[in-house]
């Protein structure tokens, strides 16, 4: 897919990995819609990116809100052929600890946003992509999901987060197979430890310790590096049904 022809919806596009991806795609000539919570900085971010970007607020767990946001995105961008799922949350809780059993509602919320929210956006974006005129390869759309190395190397306290990201990895191939006959590709990126707003809340000493665990390069990942891989996925039609670790060869320790 030519980047100048991209009309993308990016969930979680108001910050972090989503914002960096939006900026990169706009710079390449794409049009983007930032789908994020109404209370986010989405409107300001879209304004900073210029006329090729719009903000379409929605909760990824809501069928009605996502449906409306996608319709507004299609109207503003002139279509939809790329979906990048970056919206997500995390929580730290041991299955059982000093405070007792983990709170089921906290576990459920992480699964709802990260896993079910991702699937909700895919299933509702697919009908829009299916209407596109196919390229010479028969391609009509590209879906990029965001998992995490926690899907494979979950740490103590990460049961909910790891389960949600493992679910994204697990559904990548079957969803790619579901949508193959429509010419829609599905690829997942599993980032390691990246400079994101969530990580920015940690003390400098903790951040330095995490960076030191990365074999090479010995630093935290940059959102721009996620965005660069997303761009490559969009442009390479043979990438499909796969999860790509973007992690500097890190394998997380238990804690």
CB atoms within 10 A of CB 59: 19
Q: Is-cis flag, bond preceding 146, omega within 30?
A: no
- Residue 184 CA to residue 173 CA, distance in Å, equals 12
Query: Which residue intervals of the chain are DSSP H helices?
Result: 16-27, 42-49, 63-77, 104-110, 117-130, 150-153, 159-180, 204-212, 223-235
- Residue 21 CA to residue 229 CA, distance in Å, equals 9
Q: Is 226 an annotated catalytic residue?
A: no
Contacts of 152 (CB under 8 A, 6+ apart): 166, 169, 190, 245
Q: Which of 55, 161, 194, 226 is catalytic?
A: 161
Q: SS3 sequence, 124-157?
A: HHHHHHHCCCCCCCCCCEEEEEECCCHHHHCCCC
Query: Which residues are tagged catalytic?
Result: 161
């Amino acid at each position: 897919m030519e980047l100048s022809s991209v009309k993308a919806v990016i969930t979680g596009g108001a910050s972090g990995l989503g914002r960096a991806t939006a900026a990169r795609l706009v710079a390449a000539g794409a049009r983007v819609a930032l789908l994020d919570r109404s209370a986010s900085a989405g409107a300001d971010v879209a304004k900073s990116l210029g006329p090729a970007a719009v903000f379409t607020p929605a909760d990824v767990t809501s069928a009605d809100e996502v449906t409306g946001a996608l319709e507004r995105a299609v109207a503003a961008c002139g279509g939809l052929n790329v979906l990048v799922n970056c919206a997500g949350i995390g929580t730290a809780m041991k299955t059982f600890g000093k405070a007792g059993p983990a709170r089921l509602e906290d576990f459920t919320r992480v699964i709802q946003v990260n896993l079910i929210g991702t699937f909700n956006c895919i299933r509702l974006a697919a009908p829009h992509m299916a209407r596109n005129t196919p390229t010479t390869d028969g391609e009509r759309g590209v879906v990029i999901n965001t998992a995490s190395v926690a899907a494979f190397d979950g740490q103590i306290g990460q049961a909910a987060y790891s389960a949600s990201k493992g679910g994204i990895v697990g559904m990548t191939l079957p969803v790619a197979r579901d949508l193959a006959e429509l010419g829609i590709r599905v690829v997942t990126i599993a980032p390691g430890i990246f400079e994101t707003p969530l990580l920015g809340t940690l003390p400098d000493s903790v951040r330095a310790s995490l960076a030191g665990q990365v074999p090479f390069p010995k630093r935290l990942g940059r959102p721009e590096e996620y965005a660069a891989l997303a761009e490559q996925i969009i442009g390479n039609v043979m990438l499909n049904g796969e999860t790509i670790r973007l992690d500097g060869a890190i394998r997380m320790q238990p804690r």
